[in-house]
Amino acid sequence: MEYDNLLTGTAKNLKPSGIRKFFDVAERIPDAIALGVGEPDFKTPWHIRQAAIDALSKGQTRYTSNAGLMPLRDEIASYMNRKFSLNYDPATEITVTVGGSEAIDNIIRSVVSFGDEVLIPEPSFVCYAPLTELAGGRPVILPTYEKDGFKLTPDTLKKAITEKTKLLIMPYPNNPTGALMEKEDYEKIAAVLKGTNILVLADEIYIELNYSNAPLFSFAQTDGMKERTIVVNGFSKTYAMTGWRIGFACGPKEIMKAVLKIHQYGIMCAPTVSQYAAIEAMKNGDEDIEYMRQNYNMRRCFLLDAFRSLSVPCFEPKGAFYVFPNISAFAESSEKFCSDFLEKAHVAVVPGSAFGESGEGFIRISYAYSLDHLKKAVDRLEKYIKG
Amino acid sequence: MINLKEKVLRFLEDDCRFSAKNISDALGATEQQVADVIAECIDDGTILGYKALINWDKTEREYVSAMIEIKVQPEKGEGFDSVARHICAFEEVVSVFLMSGGFDLAVMLEGKSMREVALFVVEKLAVIDGVTGTATHFVLNKYKDKGVIFDEREKDTRVMTEF
């Protein structure tokens, strides 16, 4: 077999992830501490697991409707209304997906074809550009900078728009920087988008992990933006349900119809047991969200205080569960810093460059770890820096 | 709405090593507010102590624990209180609860050996005025205590993914 001739050029040219390699090395160092995992350390709350067990014991294991169980879509509609004052029709405007990732893939494939441009702020989660390429589109990177709090600026956006622009990704709260775009920031972006035919994919998977004093705010709430926005959200980060693979997308029915068709042919439906668990999460999970958010906030403040006392510059992230300190004073590249830090201090972190060129000079530290774990890591960082 | 006192106590119940600063960061209160709440809780006896939860099976210490069911003839005007207080005074006694159901007091005891515990029950507990019967149940293995699972320290099984 000539396997190489079978693979498409696009598949062959997809960039391998830059996140994993340090962790393969770390696994071989017995006392290595990892600070890289991008999933909650909390277990899925017991009442949610119990709901799944109940569903299993009742034999609720068949396919659901393609868009997801109607009671779950009703709960999602009620959640979007309760938290964001946004109204979506559960019958036509909501699809339950296999995590937020499937939703992102389906939306991109629904609107992007050969030559279309997708605007992607970076640093950001690593899937947008490869999925755009797989759909035949062209990723256009919008760099964001520490001086702007890693927010997308209207100027950067304006300069990148061409006749071929189809889609803008809005990945906030942001992985890896922890940056948050607030109402006023979104209004400036909206002013640029008004009058264009550009769709927005608001990846709001971290939206509940917000440490600012402002109320939660979705891009779709921005004046005039709901009609051009598909919100992607899910249960993974909010309810510590990563392995359940359950997310959702809400948006205009004209687009959601296509998203649903791709979902129907590619996936059929999201896992049924997970859907029952998700109903329980949305109905009775608000206290769990708050408990986890408070714990993350404790750790976030601990790390920011530690960086301050070690004179490691770090802008204050207001969302997600990552900090993104600037280590450019300590090494010539973030990869070099990570290799050396792992080798000498036995701590594995992710180089900022893995999330785009504008992440160079930074490292991503996840605080989805216990305070004890973080204290141990900070002790090692201190020894490493002080030599 | 849960008040600040209850929120602070929940954090301390999770891990009493959290500092006032840690808890204030989590709750968005000031460090002083949290410190005041903790001081008030210590003063009024809401917080009674801070102790480590130890799995003695990991040590060389000779150690057994037992749960004693005790039947009590309640005293007029005192109910079960005077017998319960009498039992509380023994250092070997770890906890004493008044129970509903087939017996009255549940007493957790610790001792060096089964014989020592059995003798304590016979010589010290069974002879108390008002105690009408005892049943001793030795703990053979502790699986979970105070919300913590004993026999397996959970390892972080999360794997590195693109997320």
**In chain B, which ranges are E strands?**
64-72, 93-98, 105-111, 131-138, 144-145, 148-149
Please give, rounded to a whole number of angstroms, the shortest distance from the CA of B54 to a CA of chain A: 17
Residue B158 inside a domain? The answer is no
If pLDDT is split at 50, 70 and 90, which confidence band does B162 have? low
Identify any residues that bridge with A348 across adjacent strands, giving them in sequence order: A34
| pLDDT band, very low/low/confident/very high, at A330 (cuts 50, 70, 90) | very high
Confidence class for position A256, pLDDT limits 50, 70, 90: very high
> In this predicted model, which residue has the larger pLDDT, A93 or A32?
A93
User: What is the rounded distance in angstroms from the CA atom of residue A32 to the CA atom of residue A366?
Assistant: 15
State whether B161 and A39 contact (CB < 8 Å): yes
Query: In terms of domains, do B99 and B74 share one?
Result: yes
* B19, part of any domain: yes
Instruction: Give the DSSP letter of residue B108.
Output: E
Q: What value does the CA radius of gyration of chain B take, rounded to a whole number of Å?
A: 21
Task: Tell whether B63 and B109 lie within a shared domain.
Answer: yes
**pLDDT over 70 at A18, yes or no:** no
- pTM given for the model: 0.92
What Cα–Cα distance (Å) separates residue A108 from each residue in A91, A262, A291? 22, 11, 34
Q: Is residue B64 part of a domain?
A: yes
B75 and B9, same structural domain? no
The verdict on B27 and B105 lying in the same domain is no
Same domain, B62 and B38: no
Report how far residue A166's alpha carbon sits from residue A243's, in angstroms, rounded to the nearest whole number.
Answer: 32
Prior bond to A176 cis, omega within 30? Answer: yes
Asked if B163 lies within 8 A of A242 by C-beta distance, the reply is: yes
What is the pLDDT averaged over residues B82-96?
A: 96
In angstroms, the CA A83 to CA A186 distance is: 17
**Whether residue A286 has pLDDT greater than 90:** yes
Residues B83-105: what's their mean pLDDT? 96
Token readout for B3 is 């008040």
The length of chain B, given as a count of residues: 163
Q: Is the pLDDT of residue A24 over 80?
A: no
- Domain with residue B31: its CATH number is 1.10.10
C-alpha span between B111 and B139 (Å, rounded): 11
Q: Does B141 lie in the same domain as B64?
A: yes
DSSP, collapsed to helix, strand or coil, labels residue A213 as coil
> Which contacts of B111-118 are long-range, i.e. CB under 8 A and separated by 24 or more positions?
B111/B63, B111/B64, B111/B65, B111/B66, B112/B62, B112/B63, B112/B64, B113/B62, B113/B64, B114/B64, B114/B66, B114/B138, B116/B64, B117/B64, B117/B65, B117/B66, B117/B92
Q: Which domain holds residue B13?
A: 4-43
Residue B159 belongs to a domain: no
Domains for chain A: give ranges and CATH numbers: 3-44+287-386 (3.90.1150.10), 60-284 (3.40.640.10)
* SS3 (DSSP) at B48: coil
Q: Is residue B69 one of the residues assigned to a domain?
A: yes
With a CB-CB cutoff of 8 Å, which residues 11-40 of chain B face chain A? 11, 15, 18, 21-23, 25-28
Q: What is the pLDDT of residue B163?
A: 58
Q: Is the pLDDT of residue B151 over 80?
A: no
8 Å CB contact of B162 and A23:
no
Q: pLDDT-based confidence at A15, cuts 50/70/90?
A: confident
Token match 């460059």: residue? A353
Segment A181-214, tens digit of pLDDT = 999 999 999 999 999 999 999 999 999 999 998 9
Residue B130 belongs to a domain: yes
- Answer yes or no: do B69 and B123 share one domain: yes
pLDDT band at A112 (very low <50, low <70, confident <90, very high): very high
Question: A151-161 pLDDT, tens per residue?
Answer: 999 999 999 99
* Shortest CA distance from A301: residue in chain B: B25
Q: Does B80 lie in the same domain as B10? A: no
Using DSSP's 3-state secondary structure scheme, residue A35 falls into: coil
Percent of chain B with pLDDT over 90: 80
- Closest-CA residue of chain A to B162: A19
| Mean pLDDT computed over A139-161 | 98
C-beta atoms of A39 and B158 within 8 A:
yes
Least Cα distance to A337 among A324, A356, A350 occurs for: A350
Window 138-157 of B: residues touching A by CB (8 A cutoff) are: 156
Q: Based on the fold, state whether residues B61 and B96 are members of the same structural domain.
A: yes
Is the pLDDT reported for residue A319 higher than 80?
yes
In a domain, B51, yes or no: no
In a domain, B135, yes or no: yes
List, in order, residues 6 or more apart from B97 with CB less than 8 Å away: B105, B106, B107
Alpha-carbon B94 to chain mean position: 7
Q: Are residues B89 and B26 in the same domain?
A: no
SS3 content of chain B, % helix, strand, coil (to 5): 35, 20, 45
The answer on pLDDT for B1 being more than 60 is no
Total structural domains within chain B: 2
> B91 and B112 share a domain?
yes
User: Which residue has 């035949």 as its token pair?
Assistant: A136
Supply the mean pLDDT for chain A.
96
CB contact under 8 A, A298 and B25: yes
Length of chain A: 387
Chain mean position to CA A229? 17
Can you tell me the mean pLDDT for B13-21? 96
Taking one residue from A and the other from B, the number of pairs with CB-CB distance under 8 angstroms is: 53
Chain B residue numbers touching A98 (CB-CB < 8 A): none
Query: Pick from B27, B156, B161: which is nearest to A38 by CB?
Result: B161
In 3-state terms chain A splits into helix, strand, coil percentages (rounded to 5) of 45, 15, 40
In a shared domain, residues B99 and B34: no
Return the residue of B nearest to A322 by Cα: B163
Q: Which of A157-171, A283-297, B139-153 has the lowest mean pLDDT?
A: B139-153
Q: Tell me the CATH number at B77.
A: 3.30.70.920
Q: C-alpha distances in angstroms, B33 versus A268, A303, B6, B40?
A: 53, 22, 13, 11
Residue A238 contacts residue A368 (beta carbons within 8 Å):
no
How would you class B57 by CB atoms within 10 Å of its CB: exposed for 0-12, middle for 13-18, buried for 19 or more?
Answer: exposed
Average pLDDT over residues B95-108: 97
